[in-house]
Amino acid sequence: MKKIVNIPRGTQDILPKESKKWQYIENHLRKISENFCYKEIRTPIFELTELFARGVGDTTDIVQKEMYTFLDKGNRSITLRPEGTAGTVRSYIENKLFADTIKPQKLYYIGPMFRYERKQKGRYRQFFQYGVEVIGEESEKIDAEVISLAYNIYKSLGIENIKVSINTLGNPEERNEYNRALINHFKKEIHNFCEDCQNRLEKNPMRILDCKVDTKKELMKNAPKLLDFLGEESKKYFKKVLSYLDDLKIKYEVDPNLVRGLDYYTHTAFEIMIDNKDIELKTLCGGGRYNGLIKMLGGPEEEKGIGFALSIERLLLALESENIELNINDKIDIYVVSVGEEANEYSMKLTNLLRIHGFKAQNSYFDKKIKAQMKMADRYKAKFSIIIGEEEIKDKKVTVKNMENHNQESIKIENLMNYLEEKIKGE
């Protein structure tokens, strides 16, 4: 007996019962995106590795440890996308969307991402993200709108125990001054920190604050705060963003240690957290402003951007932990039951006709007794069954049975579609 080939570690099969939930969530995300006037963008699942090295940052864990990178047959270094922002910005620049008369460009994406991470509940090596990017303009109102969109996704699905954790990372000059202060603060004791922190000290000291290993060390607790290094303009900008969040009645908490994991953030950075003891990964969503990324990837210097991404796996996990049932309709409209050879042949033709007219319809593939076929109609959760026998074929009629109240009527075939339109689509 041949050995079974198993699924790769860190991936999952989404079986039909679960895929219904995914479809529901994806449709919900698309609807909210449309309400906020965002348009979908689809970029390749793989890109040139250089895009992520430049766009995400070569000091990040993503680039250093987690990317799936390989050489293609043309000896080019290719990477499966680990996140969606860099590819979206690359497309924005390459396709000259900055020349569009509508600015800013408000974009969203849904699709698989790939990171070689330690597998745990809610975290996979192939995972699915929904994200938005608003590119072209900078405004406190845009920042607040992006946060509001993320916040309302969870609230609209019934998840109440959430809050926005928010910080400002200032402008590049303020960040540079802050980085120098962090280097002076940590350098005498950095040998007592983890290897990642030691590597980050000179390259990206702010990310030491993002460390999960040394988070309880005293130097972490009394590290300099970025807010103390901000100029008046940055403070004013951040205060205005918070004011808009107050107007929108969005719960938030300013977290001075929130730096996010990517190098391209400036000014507003945020995460959406869930307060639920059953969820190990408390961060459901994260994002922020990245004013320097467009220029870094070869685009116009004046172009600004902000966005966020959320994990669909973590969203589903949050719904499960909060005991929220999605309103999924997995019923079919009609199950066609046939008795006799002529009726069996006609049932396939009728089923196809029903499908063409927009009904979810199924019939039996085998010559089974009527009782067995009716059981199958129940398993499909059919709203109605259509019963065809020799008499029905002769009289050019069918029997339509309401599977909920068991009422049934004899309907002429020529009137069948109108009857079903009224009964099913008129609900």
Percentage of the chain modeled with pLDDT above 70: 97
pLDDT averaged over every residue in the chain: 91
Distances (CA, A) of 399 to 139, 220, 314, 336, 338: 63, 75, 47, 10, 11
Residue 261 — pLDDT band, cuts 50, 70, 90? low
Query: Distance between CA atoms of 24 and 401, rounded to whole angstroms?
Result: 29
Number of residues assigned to the chain: 427
pLDDT at residue 263, rounded to an integer = 59
pLDDT at residue 74, rounded to an integer = 95
Residue 72 — pLDDT band, cuts 50, 70, 90? very high
What average pLDDT score do residues 211-225 get?
82
Whether 54 shows a pLDDT value over 90: the answer reads no
pLDDT at residue 199, rounded to an integer = 82
The answer to whether 148 and 156 have CB atoms below 8 angstroms apart is no
pLDDT in tens, 296-331: 899 998 899 999 999 999 999 999 989 999 999 889
pLDDT at residue 173, rounded to an integer = 86
Whether 168 shows a pLDDT value over 80: the answer reads yes
Query: Distance between CA atoms of 45 and 42, rounded to whole angstroms?
Result: 9
pLDDT at residue 292, rounded to an integer = 85
Query: Distance between CA atoms of 425 and 427, rounded to whole angstroms?
Result: 5
Whether 402 shows a pLDDT value over 70: the answer reads yes
Residue 262 — pLDDT band, cuts 50, 70, 90? low
Q: What is the edge-to-edge ordering of all strands in the sheet holding 361-363? A: 361-363, 334-338, 384-388, 397-402, 408-412
pLDDT in tens, 106-161: 999 999 999 998 877 778 999 999 999 999 999 999 999 999 999 999 999 999 98
Q: Hey, which of 34-38, 220-224, 301-305 has the most confident mean pLDDT?
A: 34-38
pLDDT at residue 171, rounded to an integer = 87
Residue 217: partners with Cβ closer than 8 Å, 6 or more residues away: 192, 193
Query: Distance between CA atoms of 360 and 256, rounded to whole angstroms?
Result: 53
Query: Distance between CA atoms of 325 and 328, rounded to whole angstroms?
Result: 8
Q: Higher confidence at residue 78 or residue 341?
A: 78
Whether 277 shows a pLDDT value over 80: the answer reads no
pLDDT at residue 176, rounded to an integer = 84
Residue 186: partners with Cβ closer than 8 Å, 6 or more residues away: 193, 197, 201, 205, 208, 219, 223
> Which of 15-29, 138-152, 202-216, 296-310 shows the lowest mean pLDDT across its residues?
202-216
**In terms of Cα–Cα distance, which of 123, 8, 116, 124 is closest to 65?**
116
Residue 194 — pLDDT band, cuts 50, 70, 90? confident
